[in-house]
Amino acid sequence: MPAAMPLFPIFADLRNRAVLVVGGGDVAERKTLALLDAGAAVTLGAPALTPALRALRDQGRLRHIDGHFEPGWVAGNWLIIAATDDVALNAAVAAAGEQHHIFTNVVDDPQRCSFQVPSVINRDPIQIAISSGGTAPVLARRIRERLESLLDHSLGQLASLAAKRRISIRARLPDLRRRRQFYDWLLDGPVAALLRQARPQAAEQALQQALAQEYPPLPGSVTLVGAGPGDPGLLTLKALRALNEADVILYDRLVSDEILSLARRDATRISVGKRLGGNHDATQENIHALMREHAGAGRKVVRLKGGDAFIFGRGGEEISALRADGIPYEIVPGITAALACAAYSGIPLTHRDHAQSVRLITAHCAKSEDTLDWRALAAEHQTLAFYMGVGQLDTLSQQLQAHGRAANTPCALIENGSLPGQRVLPTTLARLAQDAQRHAIHAPALLIIGEVAALATTHHWFGELLDSTPKAIQTPASLVPAT
């Protein structure tokens, strides 16, 4: 199996199911003990066994085939583990398993495995499995060690207590959101603390007292969440928490699949992104109607918007609509594209000598670019960050030059900012449209204009830096570090 092939994670119920282990040494002993702990009916095939394996055989806890491997051994088993130090023998076991359509693990040989045995963190009944697909077992073990230190050993007791009271909790809290809130309290509150203190009876009593309280249904609400520029690592902790509590997620077109994958698996996801050439006002009204519908039905709605909801995101209109409908709301800010694209391109938006202010501008205005104050935008000692400007680069360049901005003013176009496909194009105001066309720059892209944009050529650290016209793009002397 190719190392790059993704594995399907699965937990197998092996109770009273036949499993064959080929080998009788230390590795086979470790695998056998783990299988017996899982309740498997183990058959061990090998001419010699370790003392511990012999003891297990003598106790009747496993069946032993005394001899050298034969393909007929594999029939009737659910799983097979080849745990010998003989490469040819392990290959023969894997081939027999493949022929009989039985999942087989060959220790330390991922290419011959049809299943992997992961590193495991055991907080019975909670288990966490970590796999590198057999390519980096040391890394998987290191991750397990770190997680072990984060998870208290009382976690298993807490899970058992929750399972014991599950029917009572469902009956007492039929409202799903209330029940979720109760489980959050159970995991973070006094019950968990009492279990950590080795006081299980007091913990169960605290749980019973909590269940005796009254819990009226929660009202619906909307949380406006800024998803940031695309890199899931730039999502805030509050945004992540909101995604995990949401019943319904209304998300924009530019919200990445990687960010959506962090949300609750059973949340309803509705794409409400605006399309090029579509009726944006009608789409916005539909968003308002969806928020009203789902929040009115008592659901927790997340309105997930790229970047920050209040930076060219029509978040203000949505809040006004929620207030008019009397719907409770919260706002979770996100990292806007100007901040992220600049940082991921090595461009400081402000600089003591060259940029004392920053302007965030949309080149996709409600009316037209003629509404912009071009004379003010053409002033020096400021940085301009244009959103949604790829289609208007020629106009932007001409207007700024016509109102006094120098033709050799540094510019940087950042395409797919913060994402693995990020491309940064350093250029000048005069060559902006020409260079963008030559490199086929497409939306989403952010345009930065000002002296600080020249630093993209020297401070670049992420993604691809595109060729430009080096002689025309000169870093101001005061921006060059002293040697």
User: Could you report the per-residue pLDDT of 8-23, keeping only the tens digit for each?
Assistant: 999 999 999 999 999 9
Q: pLDDT band at 180, cuts 50/70/90?
A: confident
Cα dihedral 131/258/262/230 (nearest 10)? 130
What CA–CA distance (Å, rounded) separates 168 from 406?
Answer: 73
- Rounded mean pLDDT of the chain? 91
- On whether 278 is known to bind a ligand per the annotation, the reply is no
Asked if residue 255 has pLDDT above 90, the reply is yes
Asked if residue 263 has pLDDT above 60, the reply is yes
What CA–CA distance (Å, rounded) separates 94 from 105?
Answer: 8
- On whether 226 is known to bind a ligand per the annotation, the reply is no
Summarize the confidence of residues 389-409 as an average pLDDT: 95
- On whether 469 is known to bind a ligand per the annotation, the reply is no
- On whether 104 is known to bind a ligand per the annotation, the reply is no
Domain 221-335 has CATH 3.40.1010.10: yes
Q: Could you tell me the residue ranges of all domains in the chain?
A: 18-117, 153-212, 221-335, 338-465
Asked if residue 470 has pLDDT above 90, the reply is no
The answer to whether 208 touches 286, Cβ cutoff 8 Å, is: no
- On whether 296 is known to bind a ligand per the annotation, the reply is no
Q: Which residue has the higher pLDDT, 195 or 279?
A: 195
Catalogue the active-site residues.
Answer: 252, 274
Domain 18-117 has CATH 3.40.50.720: yes
Tokens of 269: 């996801």
Return the pLDDT at 387.
95
Q: pLDDT digit string (tens) for 355-398?
A: 999 999 997 654 555 689 999 999 999 999 999 989 999 999 99
Q: pLDDT band at 482, cuts 50/70/90?
A: low
Q: pLDDT band at 1, cuts 50/70/90?
A: very low
How, if at all, do strands 79-82 and 103-106 pair? parallel
CATH fold of the domain at 338-465: 3.30.950
Q: Which residue has the higher pLDDT, 87 or 476?
A: 87
What distances in angstroms separate CA 254 from CA 45, 114, 243, 363, 419, one per listed residue?
56, 38, 16, 17, 12
Q: pLDDT digit string (tens) for 418-451?
A: 999 999 999 999 999 999 999 999 999 999 999 9
- On whether 370 is known to bind a ligand per the annotation, the reply is no
What distances in angstroms separate CA 412 from CA 243, 417, 432, 449, one per listed residue?
33, 12, 9, 7
| Alpha helices (H) in 403-461, listed in sequence order | 432-438, 456-459
Q: pLDDT digit string (tens) for 286-298?
A: 999 999 999 999 8
Return the pLDDT at 310.
96
Task: Examine domains 18-117 and 221-335 and report if their fold is the same.
Answer: no
Asked if residue 479 has pLDDT above 80, the reply is no
Summarize the confidence of residues 34-53 as an average pLDDT: 96
Among 149-153, 165-169, 372-376, 398-402, whose mean pLDDT is lowest? 149-153
Strand partners, 445: 415
Asked if residue 2 has pLDDT above 60, the reply is no
Q: How far is CA 119 from the centre of its chain?
A: 21
Summarize the confidence of residues 134-163 as an average pLDDT: 89
